[in-house]
Amino acid sequence: MGTLSINKSLLEEFEKGLDPRHPERSKIPAKIIGYGEISTIFEIQDQTQKGLAYKRLPIFKSRSEMDQYESIYNEYNRLLNEEVGIEVPDHGFVEIIPNEGNMVVYNVQRMLPPASIGNKLLHTMSDTDCLILFELVLKELKKVWSFNRKMTGVEIGIDGQISNWALKDFVESRPAAIAPDSKLLYFDTSTPLFRVDGHEQINPDLFLRSAPSFLVWLIKWLFLEDVVTRYYDLHMVIVDLIANLYKEQRPDLIPDFIERANNFISIEAKELDVKPINAKEVRSYYREDAMIWRLYLALRRLDRFLMTRILHRPYVYILPGKIKR
Ligand SMILES: Nc1ncnc2c1ncn2[C@@H]1O[C@H](COP(=O)(O)OP(=O)(O)OP(=O)(O)O)[C@@H](O)[C@H]1O
Ligand SMILES: [Mg+2]
């Protein structure tokens, strides 16, 4: 894990000229390389920015909120890398204060080869290799809960979904080679979840900043608590990981993954006392999860419509297009 040094004035220019509705048409164009449920990841189309992946978080109300997020973000990367032993990519962090509107943080990472990302691998590798990939992820997750068991006062949460992992030492020109001793990188560190003496370090309200304001109370009441706590529960993290195979268009792998997970739970991770997983639970979890995110995105679009067409105010978030679930 290293630190990247970033050209801040270029980013300021980029932010100034950004067209959130059509990032590729911005003054300095951006090429989208991935969507999360909440944010967008892109490459800035400038000679000097090749090989860097940017994640834009336009959600901060004050400088101290940004600074706090920065230290939590850095600490989360450090904890995973140094305390848990999960490798994270080189990264950097830039704060931008525009003339008006929210303050913006750009998380920057070294760009990993797109074909090395887990959800891509699910479509290019053999089923046997997909199972090996799954096993590697389970092994990484076990490290987190073994750390948590040590009761150091720090408890770490993680989003284990397959789209958050990349195969290390990947050679673009060759087909993916995976073996039980291959190494993975975990790159979804922008939602730093850890508790110190039981206290969640990140302010969960931050997750809601990009939500339509008319919805915040509803989300808080319905599922914010749930969405955050599931990442501290190894059983739920594995259910989430497997259920995501529906979204990744590989539901055919689910039975084998469940069997493998239950093996892992009863043998390799026996001391962690994880409840076994069953197919029904995976299915109903997926239905609910897909419904929540679909609804969420639809309401954000509605919010954008109200803001721009009715209230004639700027809408600062980049929204994903259609997502297959
Ligand atoms: N460093 C990187 N190199 C290459 N691709 C990346 C990188 N970071 C993210 N991506 C791409 O973007 C996708 C989403 O990234 P990431 O998992 O970090 O966001 P997310 O946390 O899921 O988003 P959100 O927090 O909004 O739900 C990844 O699955 C991957 O395809
Ligand atoms: Mg992700």
pLDDT per residue as tens digits for the range 298-307: 888 888 888 8
Determine the distance separating the centroid of ligand 1 and the alpha carbon of 271, expressed in angstroms.
Answer: 32
* Ligand 1 mutation target, pool 4, 40, 55, most atoms within 8 A of CB: 55
- Which has the closest alpha carbon to 70: 211, 195, 202? 202
Q: Can you tell me the mean pLDDT for 178-183?
A: 95
**Cα dihedral sign for 207, 195, 117, 294?**
negative
pLDDT score recorded for residue 37: 66
CA of residue 39 to ligand 1 center, whole Å: 8
Which residues are paired to 165 by β-bridges? 186
Closest listed residue to residue 39, CA positions, set 321, 318, 325, 231: 318
pLDDT at residue 296 above 90?
no
Distance CA 35, CA 32 (A): 8
> Could you tell me if 186 and 88 are in contact, meaning their C-beta atoms sit under 8 angstroms apart?
yes
Classify residue 193: in a domain, yes or no.
no
Question: Measured between alpha carbons, how far is 193 from 186 in angstroms, rounded to an integer?
Answer: 14
Which mutation among 41, 124, 190 tests ligand 1's pocket best, with the greatest number of atoms within 8 A of CB?
A: 41
This prediction has a pTM of 0.89
From ligand 2's centre to the CA of 187, what distance in Å? 8
Q: Does 177 fall in a domain?
A: no
Report if residue 88 sits inside a domain. yes
Closest ligand 1 atom to 188 CA: 18
Look up the domain containing 48 and give its range. 8-110
Ligand (nearest to CA of 35): 1
Nearest CA among 20, 19, 18, 28 for reference residue 49: 28
Lining ligand 1 with CB less than 6 A are: 33-34, 36-39, 41, 53, 89, 109, 111-112, 117, 163-164, 187-188, 190-191
Question: What whole-number percentage of the chain has pLDDT above 90?
Answer: 64
Domain count, the chain: 1
Residue whose CA is at the smallest distance from ligand 1 atom 19: 36
User: Is residue 136 in a domain?
Assistant: no
Task: Provide the 10 A C-beta neighbour count for residue 66.
Answer: 20
Contact 128, 168 (CB under 8 A): no
Whole-number average pLDDT of the chain: 90
275 within a domain of the structure (yes/no): no
pLDDT single digits (tens) 206-238: 877 777 777 777 777 766 677 788 899 999 999
The answer to whether residue 82 is domain-embedded is yes
Inform me whether the pLDDT recorded for 3 exceeds 70: yes
Residue 83 maps to a domain: yes
Residue 179 placed within a domain: no
Would you place residue 102 in the very low, low, confident or very high pLDDT band (cuts 50, 70, 90)? confident
pLDDT of the residue at 101: 82
Which domain CATH number covers 83? Answer: 3.30.200
Q: Is the pLDDT of residue 158 over 70?
A: yes
| pLDDT band, residue 140 (cuts 50/70/90) | very high
From 93, 137, 184, 188, give the residue whose CB has the most ligand 1 atoms within 8 Å, as the site to mutate: 188
- What confidence score (pLDDT) does residue 137 get? 98
Per-residue model confidence as pLDDT tens digits over 246-293: 989 999 999 999 999 999 999 999 999 999 999 999 999 998 877 777
pLDDT tens per residue, range 33-45: 988 766 789 999 9
The encoded tokens of residue 149 equal 């068991």
pLDDT (average), residues 91-112: 92
DSSP at 4: -
State which ligand 1 atom lies nearest to the alpha carbon of 112: 3
Give the position, in ligand 1's atom list, of the atom nearest the Cα of 36.
Answer: 23
Q: What pLDDT does residue 129 have?
A: 96
- Ligand 1 atom nearest residue 38's Cα: 26
Query: Residue with the nearest Cα to atom 26 of ligand 1?
Result: 38
